[in-house]
Structure 1
């Protein structure tokens, strides 16, 4: 079967990959130690090579391959020896070789079920790789956000310090009240507290990224600060057309096939197996050896495996309902996520094109006006707080855009390479 050949090739590739995991991890650690900036591709490569959960999941391919091999084996023959009478001169001994013969297609049903499990192991590994990729991108994005918040906190600190110097200069010249200096000092203290929180959040984000990658990196390493890789929101209709291609829905469909194969196996168990025996019997009393041939088969009078057949049939019905529930959940999640993505993208554009430039212009105008005595320091503080809040909201909008994209890619995989 083409599917089994593909899975066998996949299994060989997985074994080869596991064989070089240690070397890849060593090289990844060396690269991280020597690099000053961690890129997303480096983070993904390190995670695929060193994440312990993915490494454990890769063994499922070999496990399924072994179970498929075991399912195709025929029962072992059985040898027996019997002695009638304990007296040597009248004892009769019998040596028998018995071979069970499976009837009802049991071996074929076992192979079919194990093959379905082998296919499911491959799809499950694909799903876990998609999930790991999404986790790495999300953790990397969180590290980017924390890094940007820290940078903005430092810029806000410089802005507050500049405001304090301006206020102190006007107070020293007798043009402003000392109250304005107090307000400027309070603003500076608040910004310093925000800077401390930003430093703590950045350290936490780095730790989470290192955990997902499966390989720690030095705290001196930074991540690239860049806009989301995909700025255009995909079409809802186009994604829903590809819903059956997703690993999660394919796995749900394959689980139906598995339950149907299990039902076929339980039905085959209703037919009893035949045991063929051949042997030789020797009588010490008659000094004669005779051949012995036997056939045996259980009588399915009471136990016809009817309970297990019923349970397997109900599990098949359950798998169909679970598949429908999975499709409904994915459709709802895709639509809601695309709406969030569209809204967040609009917010990002609004901040970049209008809000942030206007807020920065307001700060510059208020500061110049205060220096010239046209505005009070409250106007400067208000403009500074507006700019700081706008920057924070912009970062949050970018983070929501990335989060929505990651949720979609967790379902479909990498959108950048998808058809």
Structure 2
């Protein structure tokens, strides 16, 4: 008798996990934000994602970028500090001249507003990048969850195969005792039973590793669940290929690329504003000990942009803006190609799953049941 495991039931389903990264960014679906328990009997995909949002350390670290960008925005809006100076001419008390002066730099050319614009574009980029990382985290949770679910089902099927092999061995032993089969059949059945036991051990290891990977992504040191709860045959709704391609412009990746263009253009304007020198206004007082007179001081100072007109930084910023536009175009082409490829692979995998579920599995199950009945009847 030959008993084979049916662990291949989840093979076709596994292909869906490969494409979840792009599809998670294209498909916008609400996810509940229930708090994750420390221990539980089972975990659903929604619970896993909710836990990952609050416990995943990489995502938690990414959220600090919001505060960092906010601090940079605050700093960009500040004006220069005034400068206080004090000086003495001639150290002899009867003839020395003492001066005290306050100077205030005044930014010209719109430098402050240009800095603010750059920092605000940085804030926009941080917000979009955080959304992108959230989509990536969702994709990782989906892949890890269904890998765990697939490994869990594989272990169940391996356990069923082991039970079936043990039944087959009992039938063979009964037939040998009755003189209806050769004793070598027992050895064959025992070898097959040992092979299935090894396969069961591998299935246990696969499930353990899959559980650990899911726990890692959800921010737990060890799996805090006994099993995952889901249905491999329940597939999410997938829009048409035309709908998916139409949503490309709404993806976080492309919106981030557009924001980087705006940021580069703002940086160019900032560098252009640096060509205009700042004005420094000074007011103060001077006292002459020898004459016993005090005079007021007024002053204006400005650098002469004779050699350095910030032309190098302006050129670099202009090149950076052109680069950002090319990167945006490249990102759109890449996303469209990935979306088309993912859609085609999804359709192929779904067709394979339908074939396995609708034809191969029922036929294989009938064949196994027929073989068992045949052995039990002594055929």
Structure 1 partner of 2:114: 109
- For 1:69 and 1:228, the matched residues in 2 are separated by 52
- For 1:112 and 1:277, the matched residues in 2 are separated by 29
Q: How far is the alpha carbon of 1:57 from its aligned partner? A: 1.0
- For 1:219 and 1:122, the matched residues in 2 are separated by 31
Residue number among 63, 71, 74 corresponding to 1:66 in the alignment: 71
TM-score of the superposed pair, with normalisation by structure 2:
0.88
**Matched ranges for 1:242-391 at <5 A:** 242-372=247-377, 374=379
**3-state SS of paired residue (1:83):** strand
- For 1:229 and 1:32, the matched residues in 2 are separated by 28
Structure 2 partner of 1:209: 214
- For 2:122 and 2:234, the matched residues in 1 are separated by 36
Instruction: State which drifts further: 157-166 or 209-218.
Output: 209-218
Q: How far is the alpha carbon of 1:228 from its aligned partner? A: 5.4
**3-state SS of paired residue (2:186):** helix
Residue number among 214, 223, 239 corresponding to 1:234 in the alignment: 239
Superposed CA offset, 1:58-85 (max 9, x none): 1111111111111011101111111111
Assess if the C-alpha contact under 8 Å between 1:67 and 1:114 holds in 2.
yes
Assess if the C-alpha contact under 8 Å between 1:153 and 1:195 holds in 2.
yes
- For 2:205 and 2:125, the matched residues in 1 are separated by 42
- For 2:61 and 2:374, the matched residues in 1 are separated by 64
Q: How far is the alpha carbon of 1:41 from its aligned partner? A: 1.8
For structure 1, the 5+ residue unaligned runs are 1-23, 375-419
For structure 2, the 5+ residue unaligned runs are 1-32
Q: How far is the alpha carbon of 1:219 from its aligned partner? A: 6.3
Question: Within the alignment, does 1:165 sit opposite 2:159 as a pair?
Answer: no
Q: Structure 1 residues 164, 225: CA separation in 2 closer, same or farther (over 3 Å shift)?
A: farther
Q: How far is the alpha carbon of 1:185 from its aligned partner? A: 1.4
Assess if the C-alpha contact under 8 Å between 1:281 and 1:291 holds in 2.
yes
Structure 2 partner of 1:55: 60
- For 1:154 and 1:192, the matched residues in 2 are separated by 9
Q: How far is the alpha carbon of 1:293 from its aligned partner? A: 0.8
- For 1:240 and 1:328, the matched residues in 2 are separated by 11
Matched positions, count: 347
Assess if the C-alpha contact under 8 Å between 1:84 and 1:93 holds in 2.
yes
Assess if the C-alpha contact under 8 Å between 2:101 and 2:284 holds in 1.
yes
Q: How far is the alpha carbon of 1:330 from its aligned partner? A: 1.0
Superposed CA offset, 1:267-289 (max 9, x none): 11111101011111111122111
TM-score of the superposed pair, with normalisation by structure 1:
0.80
Assess if the C-alpha contact under 8 Å between 1:32 and 1:218 holds in 2.
no
Of structures 1 and 2, the one scoring higher in RCO (CA 8 A, sep 6+) is: 2
Q: How far is the alpha carbon of 1:220 from its aligned partner? A: 6.0
Structure 2 partner of 1:7: none
Superposed CA offset, 1:234-286 (max 9, x none): 21110110111111110011011111111111111111101011111111122
**3-state SS of paired residue (1:290):** strand
List 4+ stretches of structure 1 deviating above 6 A.
none
- For 1:78 and 1:276, the matched residues in 2 are separated by 10
- For 2:210 and 2:332, the matched residues in 1 are separated by 33
Q: Which has the higher helix share?
A: 1
Q: How far is the alpha carbon of 1:360 from its aligned partner? A: 0.9
**3-state SS of paired residue (1:36):** strand
